């Protein structure tokens, strides 16, 4: 029997966890994140299920001498001291992907809403006004979609755009040529090449020092007049001040933003569903700083909700439970320190410490 403890769960998650793991294991559920105050409750734990607010540093790991495995309900794992876990022989497993299709759908929803003026139409008819003056839209068929980034989300969005008969160009040095050919997408050799031809530009790249403000005053000036810009990736990819100026001048025709520049505190989408997130940021300040964007009728801002589907959150839970179940049967999956543990043990693959 394994001693398994979970922190930072939503209420609906407990039922599936019990269904999968209760038989033959001791389960403990602790409200909120793991901290120094509740650490003693799980001092004999062998498997931990946590989210990003549960900090597992060397000091806390030392107080969990029986710990063999950590399952983080997230893609990122910088809340865990990986070196110390590896030194102690503790397997750490994550959720590599869960919402590619979900975020791609939201990307396309923003494109369609702007192209077809869905928000303006709905607001007008809600007041009883059924006139169509000023509501002329444009077709997406045969328009050029420029994608900056072509990972899991970008490639999913490309599939959807091609289904709408859009011409897709991709700027991503790491894009797979075979996948580009399969989806009938064109590779842009330079960013400028993509900026010149695109009617719609979508962002699907991580935020790094190299990509920060990739949409800025200079790159905006190289875009087509009337371009639509969509960002469902990270807010820091866009220089907000430069975007506002381009909207004011009419050079940019519209923007769909699920992320805003102040969201640098957000490391993981599921973080937004956590009660700890609401207490860690001032959302009023976040919104106040973007009132200028909201004055534009051709701007749609959604509250970093692209990831937030029932299916995506269920995939996070399912993958995490698969990771735990696999470990307990000696078949660990998604072990982010698997190679390091194998090298440490001198064996190929992760040591099967969880097998009973």
DSSP E strands, 209-351: 227-231, 252-257, 299-301
Structure tokens at 287: 């919104």
**Is 304 one of the catalytic residues?**
yes
Q: Tokens 């759908």, residue? A: 105
Two tokens at 172?
A: 């991503």
CB 90 within 8 A of CB 69: yes
What the block records as the tokens of 62 is: 């030392």
Kindly state the tokens that stand for 246.
């381009």
State both tokens at 244: 């506002």
Task: Point out the catalytic residue in the list 10, 84, 193, 263.
Answer: 263
Q: Give 287-291 contacts, CB < 8 A, sequence gap 24+.
A: 289/260, 289/262, 290/240, 290/260, 290/262
Question: Please, which residues have CB within 8 angstroms of residue 80's CB and are 6 or more apart in sequence?
Answer: 56, 70, 72, 92
Phi, psi of 108 (to 5 degrees): -65, -35
Q: Contact at 8 Å (CB) between 50 and 29?
A: no
For residue 299, count CB atoms less than 10 angstroms from its CB and return exposed for 0-12, middle for 13-18, buried for 19 or more.
buried
Element (H, E) at 144: strand 144-148
Which residue shows structure tokens 């004011």? 248
- 3-class secondary structure, 150: coil
HSE of 189, CA atoms in CB hemisphere, 13 A:
0
Region of 117 (left: φ > 0; alpha: ψ -120 to 50; beta: rest) is left
Of the candidates 79, 204, 304, 315, the residue annotated as catalytic is: 304
Catalytic annotation, pick one of 101, 234, 270, 290: 234
Please name the helix (run of DSSP H) or strand (run of DSSP E) that holds residue 6, with its range, or none.
strand 2-7
Structure-token pair, residue 23: 């038989």
Annotated active-site positions, please? 234, 263, 304
């Amino acid at each position: 029997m394994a001693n398994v403890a979970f922190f930072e769960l939503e209420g609906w998650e407990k039922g599936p966890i019990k269904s999968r793991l209760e038989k033959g294991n001791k389960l403990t559920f602790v409200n909120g994140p793991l901290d120094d105050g509740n650490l003693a409750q799980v001092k004999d734990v062998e498997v931990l299920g946590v989210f990003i607010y549960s900090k597992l540093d060397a000091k806390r790991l030392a107080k969990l001498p029986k710990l063999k495995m950590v399952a983080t309900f997230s893609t990122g794992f910088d809340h865990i001291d990986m070196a110390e876990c590896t030194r102690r022989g503790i397997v750490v497993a994550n959720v590599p992907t869960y919402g590619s299709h979900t975020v791609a759908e939201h990307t396309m929803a923003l494109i369609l809403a702007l192209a077809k003026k869905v928000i303006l139409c709905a607001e007008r008819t809600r007041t009883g006004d059924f006139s169509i003056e000023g509501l002329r839209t444009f077709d997406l068929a045969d328009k050029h979609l420029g994608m900056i980034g072509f990972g899991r989300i970008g490639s999913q969005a490309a599939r959807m755009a091609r289904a709408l008969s859009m011409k897709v160009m991709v700027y991503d040095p790491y894009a797979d040529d075979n996948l580009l050919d399969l989806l009938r997408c064109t590779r842009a050799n330079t960013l400028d090449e993509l900026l010149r031809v695109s009617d719609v530009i979508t962002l699907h790249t991580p935020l790094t020092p190299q990509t920060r403000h990739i949409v800025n005053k200079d790159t905006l000036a190289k875009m087509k007049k009337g371009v639509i810009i969509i960002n469902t990736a990270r807010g820091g990819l866009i220089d907000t001040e430069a975007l506002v100026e381009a909207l004011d001048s009419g050079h940019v025709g519209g923007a769909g933003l699920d992320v805003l520049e102040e969201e640098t505190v957000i490391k993981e989408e599921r973080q937004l569903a956590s009660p700890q997130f609401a207490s860690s940021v001032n959302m009023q300040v976040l919104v106040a700083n973007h009132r200028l964007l909201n004055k534009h009728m051709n701007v749609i801002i959604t509250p970093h909700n692209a990831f937030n589907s029932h299916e995506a959150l269920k995939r996070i839970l399912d993958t995490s439970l698969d990771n735990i179940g696999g470990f307990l049967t000696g078949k660990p999956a998604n072990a982010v320190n698997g190679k390091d543990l194998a090298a440490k043990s001198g064996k190929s693959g992760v040591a099967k410490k969880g097998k009973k």
